[in-house]
Structure 1
């Protein structure tokens, strides 16, 4: 787990070491098996040669068979390692003619047969063959067996196998060293990139030049440069937002300070009350502004995945917003009409969506003339799996086409009416967080139509 998380070089080496180790084990096993087969073939050939010589030395002496085994025959299977040699010459199913009684007898074989056996506690390799002996019309099978201990065989296996194994292991070790050196050289571009990034101050982070880097690193560098572009744009937007917010907050604070100084100089109680009332209005405007700034920050930080499982009926949200603003509408002699016949299920945050619709309806009431109507329409387009549309329509002055994008920027106001210029900016961010769209259009008969589109929620 630590290797997978911390070191690219270690991971690459691990991917190399594991198959190389498996290859080494397989190669060692095959090399040992090949060496043993070679040693067995040589030993078996020597045993067969000695057995044939012994069989050829068996002869008739009168009615009996005799075998004379010369020392030179034993030397055929003799070894410098001092292996013990055993032999046995016997009549098939009968008496032993010559040899070592401790050498266990074996059955006759039509062809030479090699086998492993034990003499006492010593393992041996042996061969047996049968020679028919003819005399006066009769046939007697003579079984000749020759065996030898395994000291020389094992020594030959080691002499054949160990050099090959050493060669394989040495080659693998050399390959690993070369790979380590190659990785160190080939990973240098990453170290160079780190140095380049460290050399630039965070405030002016330069883009990385991918001219001399490997092809495999170019997508990474391109993505990193694109990320820097996004970060710079966001930082610029944030700095501009902070500057605008500071300016917007400073104005009511300055006004509040002026009103306090004025109130201190007043000797008339009625003038003091009037000043305090004005201070109350200034304080309420500042609280409203701060609440809108907090809502905008919350909207910008909202992520669809955080409320992906929440179901919201926009018809209920609209109904509550209208009930909340009904008194404000009556004060301005404005009629509120809701034209939503069916539920409008979407996925999202009920708190944020309520803020959007309440803000849009409040704006429509504020900018509509007395005696007019504000209409909120909603429907599902293109069937149940399509888009849900909400339209807030007023009969006010509307917004010029060339200003409709700018009015959704923070603190921009298209008119001199009282307000912070944050309402539509908040609406845009919340709608965007819900993967929806917002558009400003001319309303039929004059006025403004704010249209919201969301994906309809599908219950599994």
Structure 2
């Protein structure tokens, strides 16, 4: 079994490590994709700007070459009829500028600087100083995807704007330069995305992934052996969500370890009880036989005590037969009889030796004589005995030492409930003791946690609560202004409520 748990834990740790590696890889890829997306958004206006500047540079280069061969202040040199470049010079200039035509306009005239004789049709005319941002982006992407075989006529101002240049060129060189620029931007974006992704990945791994891995590892180690307190995670001093998760996990593991320890104690208790149950029944059976013989003695005192002793032994034998019922966390289904509640309270008083004159505790049976109730007599007897025994222990504690302190234990029914017109009956057990401490109030009716005294187990109140639930009722601790404790037991009296409570108890048992 231990080997299986260890193998399972090792498998879980390997899966957790693989999950963390996968999470780290996904985080890195996501970061790089985010940076690449940002680069793409930057690339859109960037490529449009590159195309615009490429055309402007072409116009300015043509202006420098063209205007260098003429005197801009002499209108005669700008006359179309006065060509100053030979045909070979024009061919060299056009080849150097990768153009088909170069012309300059200014001061109301236009001068043709160079022209390719084979130039025929022009596919598109571009005026660079009239393009808006949307036009620039649209034409840039059109050039990238469909360009390369068009003849463009490019117009635009140069210098201080007194002259405008006209250049006719093939767009193949423009498209190639744009593709080279796009390729460079792409590789640069990859480098930037990788560097930014690695930096962000390292940062997030340090502040997020590793703490999550620590939480996962702590849960796996604790799940392997939750009884080991050394496997409870030690929270860090972080005040963010990770720190809150660590502290909550540590608190949850601590509570779970305490719960498991209590359950293990319960299991050990059940095992011990099962071992001694057989021998205890034999001892009680022997004691019962002796008591039967004592009941035949003619001594009046024996005749008065013997019935009480026999009844107590019968009840003890019954307890030993049903003692394992608590280990199954279910009370037996109530075997209801019409009983005299006043008489049951008297039996509880005699069992606890509170009915004699030497008793230090005043016992008040406030249940009216002849008050009948349809309940399981044995379970109700156990219920009242557990509550009264706790009250007696509280009244006999060191806190109650002193002259004139009233020690009183009262069992009764509410006067307003005597007619039971509401379909319920309220039984109360009240004492004048020191009351319940805060810890006992917070864990009331919880075994091993709801004890009101040091060294107690809290099983009495836990058993009492189960008995009341089996009868379809409820038990509460009333708030008192004066010192003491008052338990109020509300039981249904109608058939419908009774059957509904028993059905609820059976469903909880399943």
Cα distance in 2, alignment partners of residues 59 and 191 from structure 1: 84
Residue in structure 2 matched with residue 374 of structure 1 by the alignment:
413
- Return the offset for 1:295: 3.8
Q: Could you tell me whether the CA contact under 8 Å between 2:62 and 2:102 is conserved in 1?
A: no
Q: CA deviation at 1:40?
A: 1.9
Matches within 5 A, 1:218-229: 218-229=243-254
Number of corresponding residues: 343
2:462 to 425, 440, 445: 425
Per-residue deviation, 1:69: 7.0
8 A Cα contact 1:392 1:451, kept in partner: yes
1:205 aligns with 2:229: yes
Higher helix share: 2
**TM-score, L = length of structure 2:** 0.47
Could you say what secondary structure the match of 2:150 adopts?
A: strand
Q: 1:23 to 1:448 in 2, by over 3 A?
A: closer
Q: 1:23 aligns to what?
A: 38
Q: Secondary structure at the match of 2:488?
A: strand
185-194 vs 201-210, which moves further: 185-194
* Structure 1 pair 34–325 and aligned structure 2 pair: CA distance change class (3 A): farther
Tell me the distance in 2 between the aligned counterparts of 1:373 and 1:113.
Answer: 102
- Aligned pair 1:326/2:326, yes or no? no
Q: Determine the C-alpha separation between the residues in 2 that align with 1:361 and 1:281.
A: 10
CA-CA distance at 1:123 after TM superposition: 0.4
2-structure distance, mates of 1:431, 1:72: 116
1:72 aligns with 2:72: no
Q: Deviations over 1:367-394 (max 9, x none)?
A: 89xxx8534979xxxxxxxxxxx98334
> Deviation string for 1:249-294 (max 9, x for gaps)?
445432335689999xxxxxxxxxxxxx999977753454333443
Q: Which runs of 5+ in 2 are unaligned?
A: 1-15, 71-76, 104-114, 157-164, 289-310, 345-368, 389-410, 418-423, 491-510
Q: Which residue of 2 aligns with 1:285?
A: 319
1:157-306 paired onto structure 2 within 5 Å: 157-182=178-203, 194=217, 198=221, 202-206=226-230, 208-209=233-234, 216=240, 217-257=242-282, 284-286=318-320, 288-295=322-329
Supply the distance in 1 between the matched residues of 2:234 and 2:167 (Cα, whole angstroms). 80
**Change over 3 Å in CA distance of 1:34–1:71 after alignment to 2:** same
Compared CA separation, residues 260 and 408, structure 1 to 2 (3 A): same
The answer to whether the Cα contact below 8 Å between 2:55 and 2:154 also exists between their aligned partners in 1 is no
Q: Once superposed, what is the RMSD of the aligned Cα atoms?
A: 6.3
SS in 1 for 2:338: helix
What does the per-residue CA deviation read over 1:220-271, in whole Å, with 9 as the maximum and x for residues that have no partner?
33223322321232133223333333444445432335689999xxxxxxxx
SS of the residue corresponding to residue 122 of structure 1 reads coil
The separation in 1 between residues aligned to 2:26 and 2:127, in whole angstroms, is: 61
Provide closer, same or farther for how the CA distance between residues 248 and 335 of structure 1 changes in structure 2, counting only shifts above 3 A: farther
1:183/1:401 Cα in 2 relative to 1: closer, same or farther (>3 Å)?
Answer: same
Query: Quick check: 2:102–2:168 contact (8 Å CA) kept in 1?
Result: yes
**Does 71-80 or 230-239 show the bigger shift?**
71-80
Q: Distance in 2 between matches of 1:441 and 1:112?
A: 89
Query: Which of 172, 180, 194 is the equivalent residue of 1:151?
Result: 172
Unpaired runs of at least 5, structure 1: 61-65, 89-96, 130-143, 264-276, 299-320, 339-353, 379-389, 415-419, 453-460
Residues 176-232 of structure 1, C-alpha deviation per residue, up to 9 Å, x if partnerless?
334445555665566677489859965432254556x76655433322332232123
Deviations, residues 279-326 of structure 1 (Å, cap 9, x unaligned):
99777534543334434699xxxxxxxxxxxxxxxxxxxxxx9x9553
Contact 2:475/2:487 (8 A) holds in 1: no
Counterpart CA distance in 2 for 1:11 and 1:112 is: 46
Q: Which residue does 2:121 correspond to in 1?
A: 103
Assess if the C-alpha contact under 8 Å between 1:440 and 1:448 holds in 2: yes
Contact 1:410 1:425 in 2 (8 A): yes
In the alignment, does 2:488 pair up with 1:450? yes
Equivalent-residue separation in structure 1 for 2:196 and 2:42 (angstroms): 16
More strand by share: 1
Give the whole-Å Cα distance in 2 for the aligned partners of 1:125 and 1:77.
14
- TM-score normalised per structure 1: 0.51
Find the partner of 1:40 among 32, 52, 55: 55
1:124 to 148, 151, 174: 151
Q: Is the Cα–Cα contact under 8 Å of residues 150 and 171 in structure 2 kept in the other structure?
A: yes
> Alpha carbons of 1:210 and 1:152: their partners in 2 closer, same or farther (altered >3 Å)?
same
Cα distance, 1:292–1:262 mapped onto 2, change above 3 Å: closer
Relative to structure 1, the CA distance from residue 439 to residue 259 in structure 2 (aligned partners, 3 Å threshold; closer, same or farther) is closer
Residue 439 of structure 1 deviates from its aligned partner by 1.0
Aligned in 2, Cα 1:218/1:151: closer, same or farther, shift over 3 Å? Answer: same
Residues 287 and 413 (structure 1 numbering): CA distance in 2 closer, same or farther, change over 3 Å?
A: farther
Q: Tell me the distance in 2 between the aligned counterparts of 1:184 and 1:373.
A: 67
